[in-house]
Structure 1
Amino acid sequence: MADEVHIPEYEEGFRRLQADRFGFLHIDLNSFFASVEQQLHPEWRDRPLAVVPTMADTTSCIAASYEAKALGIKTGTQVGEAKRICPEIILVAGSHTEYAKFSHKIAEAVERCCPVAHTPSIDEMVCQLIGREQEPPRARKIALEIKQAIKDDVGETLRCSIGMAPNRYLAKIASDMQKPDGLIGLLPSQLPRAIAHLELRDLPGVGAKTEIRLNAKGIRTMPELLALDRTGMHALWDSVWGDRLYHWLRGAATGDDGAPVAAEVQKSLGHSHVLGPEHRSQEGAWAVAHKLLHKAAMRLRMEKFYTGSMAVTIKYMLSREEAERMKSKKHTSGIKHSGWGMEARFPDCQDTLSLLDILRKMWAQRPVGPEFQKPFFVGVTLRELVPEDEFQVGLFGDPDNRAQLSSAMDKLNLKFGHTTVHFAGMLPAREAAPTRIAFTQIPVQYGTEYM
């Protein structure tokens, strides 16, 4: 039968040798951004709510409360469609600063019960269990204590699902198996049968493109994947990832336990922004790009890097006629668009004025045709990062004292707010492009604000 999982005799022996213990707890905050808003605003509790990047029908929801999810509104739903489904839905512009604060508070609450070993994203935490903590009754007790600590220390709307498993990869899978407020454990003796009912897309690292590739190789279901031996798994992925996945799905640890491989040195940093209707003009887009660079340059110095490359991206709205005439793409907001991008290389620097000169020269080379008149998205990324301690000072130093100017600006902005002192070009967008929600990292507080 298609839903049966064949486990060879040698695997049965391996499984019996594994102790039925949990090595990791994966904590996944449920509808985190929406739950924070409901905690801050009691009048919004038990009501459909969506967090959005900007107040425009063409953008998409980045989080939805469980009341909204029950109606079919979820992450990625276009705001206009969400309004059609639920005219009374509460729409809230996301507050990156508040979510960062809550994430730190939750980490402190979790730490009261068990040390946090890893933080994969702003709404996820991983605890590694040791000794007798790994015994299922004790692990379950710790998980329940974590749930209660978050409720007591942070707020009653903040619920989490916790997955318990022998390795990090399975713990992540388990945390997604029961929502909201779930608690699922996957023991070695239950594997791999306990996950045979899942879809391939339920596996971390298997997205739409990977699923299509697996389907093309004859793997369409979890039982078909689990029936492969280690050699077959290696061949399926054509890499050591297949070998690791083979072991992880059977409860074994391979040393990294599903952790992403970290780069030795950070490669880039930057900011992007979907423009509000009031900034969807050439002047507005430039002002926002100016502010994005201002923030990126400040981060560059705070994180002690120099940069040798800058990339700029602009996306332009198209009319229906233009979209049909051109090979247009569709943004996640549903907007049909054309796009332009450019990268420039230059001697390593970190001061805002030098970087602004480079941005201005790149900006002057943007396209000017009729299909490039309605910008709605701008992104600025600094690449080729060099740690300060590896930076080679130029022969002529800093004749214009630009580094000192940036340092003085940083001191004032850290004390009084990140836009207290800035160059005039970003004035029209001074309050635009606020720090946005970070899905894959915990925001860092610099001075009075988060970035």
Structure 2
Amino acid sequence: MLPHAQHDRFGFLHIDLNSFFASVEQQLHPEYRGRPLAVVPTQADTTCCIAASYEAKALGIKTGTQVGEAKRIFPDIVLIEGDHEEYARYSKAISEAVDLVCPVAHNPSIDEMACQLIGREQEPPRARKIALEIKQSIYKNVGEALRCSIGMAPNRYLAKIASDMQKPDGLIGLLPSQLPRAIAHLELRDLPGVGAKTEVRLNAKGIRTMEQLLALDRAGMHKLWDSVWGDRLYHWLRGEETGDDGAPVASGVQKSLGHSHVMAPEFRTQEGAWAIAHKLLHKAAMRLRMEKFYSGSMAVTIRFAMTKEQAARMKTKRHFSGLTHSGWGMEARFRNCRDTLTLLEVLRGIWSRRPQGEDFQRPFFVGVTLRNLIPESEYQAELFGDPDNRAELSATMDKLNLKYGHTTLHFAGMLSARESAPTRIAFTQIPVQYGVDYM
């Protein structure tokens, strides 16, 4: 469809919750409202802020700022260890509040919702009214400290761009007749999917500004990206439709699931790391069963903190927490299974092959991932069944853990880490509630 043949209508609203984690904390703690606040993974100067309130952002403290630097900028900053289960609950409540006004079509992440408009809802005055009612519904039904910016556009890709153009508490609409000139002033990094590496690649091909990008025709965009993504982007940026409305392309069946954790200082020992790895596996195995999968391989990752002397003679990297580290990982394959006891035996086997010696005595990060997932419907049972009743044991554990909390019944190896390694949120993956817990 050509631009001049399009009607000036909005097809989508994109809701972006402003400083979400920090705003939830200010909702929970009224005494922190109006104060610079940062959410942190642990109370350590070497770690980084994972969220900052707008009061903190005004001082130059943002996501990724090292806690020590944040304290230097503003010594009285409020630092709160994140409660990711609380954030998941608030995300669900906000989605329900939006649903009262307009059905949520998609949740791209923990702090985003997308709504598709139909019929007369697409008319700009009506779309704006819906957007304002969404803001009011969140304020009334969830909390006054929670604000959102809403973008309105013909497709989802542009609606997401619009939601970032005015913060906090913004409302921006991009109509087909205004495009692409209405976005010509943006930076390349303002485009969803264009990160630092992609920007460098575009720069190397002579594209340094949005105006240069928009000047390309469709063939030029295809050549620039060397894929159909370029064709899609050409149409999206002009307010046109491509059939998927800017939605992510489905990647097929889920291939893996797992958990990782940056450990608190008291767990940065060989024994502490094992207890954390055990708990991460406990959670992953329970999720595997809840989501009706079997797994055929396990990958374990450990990162070890390095002293300056060790870093001088070893290949190291720098973690976002500020720690210089070396890393180790191993993957093991096994017959498809999903019971915790069998998976724990695999974990023990991998763990026994971790690096030993003086340079590997300070583990600070552990990750456990179950891979090669197959749906329950495709699993072929073993010829001789389950002589140790391991599946039945796991089912019994799940029944109790769903009712009373996922650490109620567990194997002894994770006892010391029972209250550690809580649920963490990857912004692109929303924790799911199983029983009384989010995982």
Q: Smaller-chain TM-score range? A: over 0.9
State the partner residue of 1:80.
Answer: 68
Residue 177 of structure 2 corresponds to residue 194 of structure 1: no
Contact 2:3/2:240, CA 8 A, preserved across alignment:
no
Take 1:410 and 1:15, find their aligned partners in 2: how far apart are those partners?
Answer: 55
Residue 358 of structure 2 corresponds to residue 370 of structure 1: yes
Q: Which among 316, 319, 343 is matched to residue 328 of structure 1? A: 316
Contact 1:96/1:438, CA 8 A, preserved across alignment:
no
Take 1:207 and 1:286, find their aligned partners in 2: how far apart are those partners?
Answer: 35
Structure 1 window deviating more from structure 2 (63-72 vs 437-446): it is 437-446
Contact 1:24/1:127, CA 8 A, preserved across alignment:
yes
SS state at 1:252 partner: coil
Take 1:50 and 1:170, find their aligned partners in 2: how far apart are those partners?
Answer: 30
Q: Which among 321, 341, 344 is matched to residue 329 of structure 2? A: 341
Residue 28 of structure 2 corresponds to residue 40 of structure 1: yes
Residue 152 of structure 2 corresponds to residue 144 of structure 1: no
Residue 291 of structure 2 corresponds to residue 306 of structure 1: no
Contact 1:161/1:178, CA 8 A, preserved across alignment:
yes
State the partner residue of 1:272.
Answer: 260
Residue 59 of structure 2 corresponds to residue 51 of structure 1: no
Contact 1:161/1:179, CA 8 A, preserved across alignment:
yes
Shift of 1:14: 3.0
Structure 1 window deviating more from structure 2 (34-43 vs 74-83): it is 74-83
Take 1:253 and 1:321, find their aligned partners in 2: how far apart are those partners?
Answer: 57
State the partner residue of 2:278.
Answer: 290
Shift of 1:197: 0.5
TM-score by length of 2: 0.99
Take 1:438 and 1:447, find their aligned partners in 2: how far apart are those partners?
Answer: 21
Matched to 1:230, the amino acid is R
Residue 55 of structure 2 corresponds to residue 67 of structure 1: yes
State the partner residue of 1:393.
Answer: 381
Residue 114 of structure 2 corresponds to residue 126 of structure 1: yes
Contact 1:95/1:437, CA 8 A, preserved across alignment:
no
* 1:88-108 Cα shifts (integer Å, max 9, x gaps): 111111111111111111111
TM-score by length of 1: 0.96
State the partner residue of 1:180.
Answer: 168
Residue 66 of structure 2 corresponds to residue 93 of structure 1: no
State the partner residue of 2:154.
Answer: 166
Residue 351 of structure 2 corresponds to residue 351 of structure 1: no
* 1:415-435 Cα shifts (integer Å, max 9, x gaps): 111111111110111111011
Shift of 1:397: 0.7
Matched to 2:74, the amino acid is C
Shift of 1:264: 2.1
Structure 1 window deviating more from structure 2 (91-100 vs 435-444): it is 435-444
What's the Cα RMSD here? 0.9
Contact 1:273/1:433, CA 8 A, preserved across alignment:
yes
Contact 1:53/1:93, CA 8 A, preserved across alignment:
yes
Contact 2:14/2:115, CA 8 A, preserved across alignment:
yes
Q: Which among 414, 429, 432 is matched to residue 444 of structure 1? A: 432
* 1:330-382 Cα shifts (integer Å, max 9, x gaps): 11111110000000010000000000000001000001132211000000000
Write out aligned runs for 1:3-18 (5 A). Answer: 14-18=2-6
State the partner residue of 1:379.
Answer: 367
Contact 1:317/1:376, CA 8 A, preserved across alignment:
yes
Take 1:426 and 1:55, find their aligned partners in 2: how far apart are those partners?
Answer: 23
Q: Which among 417, 423, 426 is matched to residue 435 of structure 1? A: 423
Residue 221 of structure 2 corresponds to residue 233 of structure 1: yes
Matched to 2:376, the amino acid is E
Take 1:407 and 1:113, find their aligned partners in 2: how far apart are those partners?
Answer: 40
Matched to 1:240, the amino acid is V
Structure 2 runs not aligned, ≥5 long: none
Residue 399 of structure 2 corresponds to residue 422 of structure 1: no
* 1:39-74 Cα shifts (integer Å, max 9, x gaps): 011011111111111222221111111111111111
Structure 1 window deviating more from structure 2 (276-285 vs 54-63): it is 54-63
State the partner residue of 1:116.
Answer: 104
Shift of 1:440: 1.1
Take 2:200 and 2:425, find their aligned partners in 1: how far apart are those partners?
Answer: 30
Take 2:429 and 2:364, find their aligned partners in 1: how far apart are those partners?
Answer: 25
Shift of 1:324: 2.4
Shift of 1:327: 2.3
Contact 1:289/1:380, CA 8 A, preserved across alignment:
yes
State the partner residue of 2:15.
Answer: 27
Take 2:148 and 2:174, find their aligned partners in 1: how far apart are those partners?
Answer: 17
Q: How many residues align?
A: 439
SS state at 1:80 partner: helix
Matched to 2:280, the amino acid is L
SS state at 1:434 partner: coil
State the partner residue of 2:398.
Answer: 410
Shift of 1:250: 0.4
SS state at 1:272 partner: strand
Shift of 1:206: 0.4
Structure 1 runs not aligned, ≥5 long: 1-12
Take 1:275 and 1:22, find their aligned partners in 2: how far apart are those partners?
Answer: 46
* 1:193-247 Cα shifts (integer Å, max 9, x gaps): 0001100000000001101110111100000000000000000000000000000
* 1:134-175 Cα shifts (integer Å, max 9, x gaps): 011110000000000100000001000000000000000000
Shift of 1:400: 0.6
